[in-house]
Amino acid sequence: MRYFLMALALLVSSTSGALQIQPDNLFPRVKFVTSAGDIVVELNRAKAPLTVENFLTYIQTGSYNNTIFHRIIPGFVVQGGGYDAEFNERTMFKPIPNESGNGLLNRFGTIAMARMSDPHSATRQFYFNLNDNESLDPSSRRWGYAVFGAVVEGIDVLEKLAEVETGVHEQMGWPDVPIEPPVLIKIDILPAS
């Protein structure tokens, strides 16, 4: 196991240029402090090492602070991490390789990376699954969306986020935008247990 972690640290540092956060912890936990309450997520570095390290780097730099959940579709997803309250796009690091073939599936309560049609275009936006979304999983014909963790506390808060009223955003022309977007105040990396 020790050699695996050392090799993983070398791989991550060579691809992201960042120092690894909690390098000996395969399942770091983070707390989303939102305007609707707190959600604790256990990340899975064993199955999605590049995705987890990318996510932790954004957290460590404070880049998710005061962003909004800008896309909410009940029974499907709650998406955030990319925009501030004025819908200004936040700074992105370079895209990461798609780890959707890692065996983790888009099931209710999991967190995954949002991306464009290019399978390797994920940067900072993430979403929570509000259902078992098999259409987002990889298949023999398509790339999927990389799941990298699961909610372990605060599922009621996630469900509360899913209940906010949405509509078409006037300036952006996007559907499913909350009329009053919930705020992601910050994400804390919890101490290793």
Domain borders along the chain are 27-189
pLDDT the model gives residue 172: 79
pLDDT the model gives residue 9: 43
Q: Topology of 27-189 in CATH?
A: Cyclophilin (2.40.100)
Backbone phi and psi for residue 8, each to the nearest 5 degrees, phi listed first: -65, -45
* CA atoms within 13 A of residue 164's CA, in its CB half-sphere: 24
pLDDT the model gives residue 19: 56
pLDDT the model gives residue 20: 81
pLDDT the model gives residue 177: 95
pLDDT the model gives residue 173: 83
Residues in the chain with pLDDT values less than 50 = 1-18
Q: What pTM value is reported for the model?
A: 0.89
Contact between 101 and 141 under an 8 Å Cβ cutoff? The reply is: no
pLDDT the model gives residue 13: 43
pLDDT the model gives residue 35: 98
